[in-house]
Structure 1
Amino acid sequence: MAARITLIAALLALASSHALAFDPSPLQDFCVADYDSNVFVNGFACKKAKDVTADDFYFTGLDKPASTANELGANITLVNVERLPGLNSLGVAMSRIDYAPFGLNPPHSHPRSSEILHVAEGTLYAGFVTSNTENGNLLYAKKLQKGDAFVFPRGLIHFQLNIGDTDAVAFATFGSQSPGLVTTANALFGSKPPIADYILAQPCSLARRPWAASAAAVVGHRSRKWTTA
């Protein structure tokens, strides 16, 4: 009986260690993604070692700003396993984010990864919202200057807003080769097929809340004291 209990405990511990891992641990030095493979796995199948080249681990273009001429005034250059095959099984990814003045990376989450953001140029207001607590959903936000870093925990909704008069640049690092992206507004109000209005109206209180302040009024207070938690 004691031996059986010990075996069960060992199996549970092993299962827990796998459950807590973000990406599977590699079993070899590298596993360059084979985009042409018909094998379906959690990630990508490995390219044959004899076919691997240095270019499989190489990406260029992070020195070049992406166009911010869009409705959000921001753009992202993502380097994940789908753009850099050498990332397969390594559990990391990164991105460059460009912001026009008052450009916004809107509220979103990464279901498979935490994120650390480093501000390379400009001034950002960045923060995240916790999951439900007895005190509600808490906002942790901070004004970030060049050289600052801020962490967004895995799966939590977060955002960045350029509150400066000049363009801003930030680099984000992820703990997954494919962190995933859920843009909050798009998921709720732009799903296909759409979520029924009556399902969204009650929890969002859309019919009762006085949405008087426009987005321009909200972001226009350049002299405001950006609150932190």
Structure 2
Amino acid sequence: MAWPSLALVVLLAVSIFVTDASDPDILTDFIVPPGTNTSLLNGAFFTYTGFISSNAADPAKFTATKATVVEFPALLGQSVSYAALVFGAGTLNPPHIHPRASELLYVVQGPLMVGLVDEVAGKVYTQTLQTGDMFVFPKGMVHFQYNAGTELARAFSTFGGASPGTVSLPGAIFESGIDDNVLQKSFHVDQATVETLKHDLAPAVPVAPPPSTAAPGLSTRSAALAVLVGFGAAFWL
């Protein structure tokens, strides 16, 4: 096969893959769950009220309240979904991707720093957004948000898909069962560091205070920094 023909096949395959990763077109105006009596359908089906009632945001943490097809079934087939993001001072939405949708973020209470990784160009694009600013994260590209200030920050995100999916990279790397040897070689760290990172990323559970003789280890802040540094290095190594 000639080189131009091979290149065309590759481009066509990429195009098909991207299309398949998006919401499919539907043949009706909207979709109702199986078994629904459509004669009883009313405005409540098209209404979602969970943003306020389900958003018990801790101002000291990062909180994401979603309205995807899981929480709001009327979105099925509509190629759109939403999320409300609340950032406590100094909190982070770690590097992650949305494999099935682009994201348009709108800051309603800033400032808020955002970042986008272009692995092809080997660059990170960052911007500190103010209240009223918007930023787009293309589908499937690694990105993050960080509140570097001392006050609460808030934003809303619109997704170009009813089920955008979220893959948190720290969790996907250190909590998915990848062999420790692979992690050590990938991030150029020792076994103790890998274990510390896994421990710091694990969900918090009530435990008794550790004894004063406990062995020293990385702090959560140091562990998170190691993840980000190692993750960034992975793109250029």
How does the TM-score come out when normalised to structure 1? Answer: 0.71
Is structure 2 residue 193 aligned with structure 1 residue 206?
no
Is structure 2 residue 97 aligned with structure 1 residue 109?
yes
Identity of aligned residues (%): 34
Q: More helix per residue: 1 or 2?
A: 2
Q: What is the distance in 2 between the residues matched to 1:18 and 1:156? A: 15
Name structure 1 gaps, 5 residues minimum.
Answer: 1-12, 38-45, 220-229
Equivalent of 2:127 in 132, 142, 145:
142
Q: Cα 1:176–1:48, aligned 2, differ >3 Å: closer, same or farther?
A: farther
Q: What is the distance in 1 between the residues matched to 2:72 and 2:145? A: 25
How much has 1:114 moved relative to structure 2?
A: 0.6
Q: What is the distance in 2 between the residues matched to 1:17 and 1:196? A: 33
Is structure 2 residue 77 aligned with structure 1 residue 120?
no
8 Å Cα contact 1:125-1:160 kept in structure 2 = yes
What's the counterpart of residue 5 of structure 1?
none
Q: Which moved more, 1:79-88 or 1:17-26?
A: 17-26
Q: What is the distance in 2 between the residues matched to 1:60 and 1:113? A: 23
Q: Cα 1:17–1:206, aligned 2, differ >3 Å: closer, same or farther?
A: closer
RMSD: 2.9
Moved over 6 A (4+): none
What's the counterpart of residue 158 of structure 1?
143
Q: Could you give the per-residue CA deviations for residues 2-30 of structure 1, whole angstroms, max 9, x where no partner exists?
A: xxxxxxxxxxx9xx679626111121111
Name structure 2 gaps, 5 residues minimum.
Answer: 1-11, 194-217, 226-237
Equivalent of 1:84 in 57, 62, 72:
72
What's the counterpart of residue 57 of structure 2?
67
Aligned length: 184
8 Å Cα contact 2:59-2:87 kept in structure 1 = no
How much has 1:206 moved relative to structure 2?
A: 1.9
Q: What letter corresponds to residue 50 of structure 1 in structure 2?
A: S
Q: What is the distance in 2 between the residues matched to 1:121 and 1:188? A: 31
8 Å Cα contact 2:30-2:76 kept in structure 1 = yes
